[in-house]
Amino acid sequence: MAEDYFWYLRCTVDRELKMQTRPHLLVVDDDIEIRNLLSTLLTRRGFKVSTARESQEMRQILYSSRIDLVILDLMLPGKDGLTICRELRAKNPTPIIMLTARGDPVDRVVGLEMGADDYLAKPFDFRELEARIRAVLRRRLAETAETAGLSSDYLFAGWKLDPRQRQLLSPDGSVVDLTTGEFDLLLVFVERPHRILNRDQLMDLTRGCDTTPFDRSIDVQVSRLRRKIENDPKAPELIKTVRSEGYLFTPAVERT
């Protein structure tokens, strides 16, 4: 029964996210025009949105409402966004996407190390922000299922993927070194075998920290992953390309 329930839960994560009562977002930014613009656009896209200009207003809203995700600006009056992110993460598991006018990669790394789930530099495309919001919410929903003790290993074509240890074992039992992006991409594939996934879907379902909805970086990740799991990466059998449509993971997948 537990295995059947896990299968049902994992296969319906995307649907549950779309069907749940409007996710409640909190936009924290001292620029009133940005707050109003994001509130309007995100509300039109089906979200419930609250706004705050600084940390005290943010804490009042967090105390009085259930917030599903915080969109946090780095440059704020009083406490800066990095300090707020660190303090919030120490006490609250609510996902955080940081916004900043700084494009310095160092700032991005610091933000992620402080506990942010994602990081986006201004100016940004609203469609990219929406995609990242939905990806973070989807990951949090999946992580909730896993922490409930329902996660399991995936077996395919002699390979074993362990989501808990984030480890891939080859058919001969050796550990295969995967980057974070490669592991997340493979996990998406094994969770959705025999289903064609286009680039936008793959970028939305993976962590998305190093991709945008408008590039072809997924093709690079697929190519790297093929070199590690295919017998002949130039004639792949596990991850096939479906012309003009996307990618298809072909092996039968079992859970243990």
The domain in which residue 204 lies consists of 152-255
Residue-averaged pLDDT of the chain? 81
pLDDT digits 0-9 by tens, 192-225? 999 999 888 887 777 543 444 445 678 888 999 9
State the pLDDT at residue 11.
Answer: 45
Question: The pTM is what?
Answer: 0.52
The number of folded domains in the chain is 2
Q: Are 41 and 103 part of one and the same domain?
A: yes
Same domain, 7 and 126: yes
Distances (CA, A) of 146 to 14, 47, 58: 15, 25, 29
Q: Taking a C-beta distance cutoff of 8 angstroms, is the pair 89, 96 a contact? A: yes
- The answer to whether residue 40 scores a pLDDT higher than 80 is yes
User: Would strands 175-176 and 167-169 be described as parallel, antiparallel, or unpaired?
Assistant: antiparallel
pLDDT at 149 over 70: no
Of 63, 60, 71, nearest to 31 by C-alpha is: 71
Q: Are residues 50 and 112 in the same domain?
A: yes
Contact in structure between 110 and 90 (CB atoms under 8 Å): no
For residue 117, how far is the Cα from the chain centroid?
Answer: 8
Q: Is the pLDDT of residue 183 over 90?
A: no
Q: Residue 124 contacts by C-beta under 8 Å, 6 or more apart in sequence?
A: 99
Tokens 């296969």, residue located: 11
